[in-house]
Amino acid sequence: MEDKSQDTVTFALPEGALPIQIVLDELKSLYPHARYDLDFSTPLDLLVATLLAAQCTDERVNAVTKDLFQKYRRAEDYVAVSQEELEQDVRPTGFYRQKAKQIRAACQYLITNLNGEVPRTLAELVKIPGVGRKTANVILGSAFGVTEGFIVDTHVGRLVKRFGWTQQSDAVKAERELMRLIPQQEWLGLAHRIIYHGRAVCVARSPRCAQCTLAVSCPSATNR
């Protein structure tokens, strides 16, 4: 018998929360081509890009990696170069000393433990230095088409609280609740669309509720 356990919502929404189906339908309409905005060709590229993206815009990261990914094609390339040279290569992304150390440590781990290859499971990805669940979920979904978890970045964490889906401030706890609320086949696309909406409309300091097509049903908008 076919297992359809991931095809249905398995956890009740809190009272007064914005209905999930409304969000799914509306955000698909608004952002039909939403995707992770970091450019990459290989899983290793994406791992490096996500490490560089901390406290930096995707646009700046993409500008840096355009040349970086031509210079460094394998995990061994990042380890072979000096710390100082890699620092200069990633300097425009900010916090470049720490980021260069993280990239080198991550690549050394891949070489030592995984023959230089980026793994395809969440359990293995989170063992890599500098890789948490969010980064692991990004790599799995965008590089391998695998969804083991729900991407919870600052935008997702903010919006799902405004939607009334969770009150968790801890990203991992919020992710666990979202995984019980939302059908698995929607996890990746919905996360990307929420991120787009968080950047365009439901911004951090002054959400543009008057422009939001979800506002009529959103508990956060009705309380403003």
User: Which of 37, 39, 77, 153 is the catalytic position?
Assistant: 153
**CA–CA gap between residue 206 and residue 46 (Å, rounded):** 31
CA distance 114 to 109: 7
| Residue 202 among known ligand-binding residues | yes
Pick the catalytic residue: 45, 89, 99, 134?
134
* Identity at 221, one-letter amino acid code: A
Rounded distance, CA 150 to CA 65, Å? 26
Determine the Cα–Cα distance for residues 155 and 203; give it in Å rounded to an integer: 8
- Put residue 149 in one of left, alpha, beta given phi > 0 → left and psi -120 to 50 → alpha: beta
Q: Select from 43, 56, 224 the least CA-distant residue to 139.
A: 43
Annotated binding residue 209: yes
Cβ atoms within 10 A of the Cβ of 77, count?
A: 14
**CB-count burial class (<10 Å; 0-12, 13-18, 19+) for 27:** buried
Annotation says 153 is catalytic: yes
Rg of the chain, C-alpha, whole Å: 19
- Cβ neighbour number for residue 1 with a 10 Å cutoff: 3
Active site residue 3: no
Q: Binding site for [4Fe-4S] cluster, residues? A: 202, 209, 212, 218
The annotated binding site is made up of: 202, 209, 212, 218
Residues known to be catalytic: 134, 153
